[in-house]
Structure 1
Amino acid sequence: MTTITDDTTAAPLVLADSLDLTAAAPLAAELLAARGKPATLDASGVQRMGAQCLQVLLAARALWSSDGLPWRVVDPSPEFADAAALMGCPDLALATAVQD
């Protein structure tokens, strides 16, 4: 995965193709390591997403929002968008955590 930087032109964090139970802890660790900087997550390659990774992403979105920093998902794959919608979070694929 790519690291998140505070440069708005920096490459986004590229999410794994399989966001399953085994991906949840590494995803959480990587996101926590990036705290304090704007976050852009590239979901274009996601083929499946489980509830644990959805919870990690929702917690990260809330954390970035409480910090007042941008957090967004870009280029969500149809599978990412469908999984988020099926689990009750259709807005995750359109997520930004900063209110201007």
Structure 2
Amino acid sequence: MSEPHAPAVVSLPPILDLQAAEPLRAELMALRGRPLSLDASQVTRLGGLCLQVLMSARKIWAEDGHSLTVDQPSSGFSEQLAAFGEPDLQFGS
């Protein structure tokens, strides 16, 4: 399936904690309806609430028929996904 728009790119902040959850949710929802690429290269800490925001976005994008990818995940991002029991969490179409 070809998508009509180039993916929007969101650079995730280094600290994805409780305070980052609502701004992240708002930023992602503002981009709903088009492909989205998340740059996770700078993430050093991933909290549970932000993980829930990302998992919810993954589901919404899939239901809408658009891709949502995580590009360049930092080692901190990947390690914390594993710590949450989601080492193979896949984002994509």
Same fold (TM over 0.5): yes
Q: CA deviation at 1:75?
A: 0.2
Counterpart of 1:62?
Answer: 59
User: Percent of counterpart pairs with the same letter?
Assistant: 47
1:79 correspondence with 2:86: no
2:41 alignment partner in structure 1: 44
TM-aligned CA deviation for residue 91 of structure 1: 2.4
Moved over 4 A (4+): none
- Distance across 2 between alignment mates of 1:88 and 1:25: 23
Q: CA RMSD in A?
A: 1.2
In the TM superposition, what is the alpha-carbon distance from 1:27 to its structure 2 partner? Answer: 0.2
Aligned residues: 89
Structure 2: runs of 5+ lacking an equivalent = none
- Matched AA of 1:86: A
Cα separation, 1, equivalents of 2:66 and 2:85: 24
Greater relative contact order (Cα 8 A, min sep 6): structure 1 or 2?
2
Aligned mates of 2:55, 2:88 — CA distance in 1: 11
Residue aligned with 1:24, SS: helix
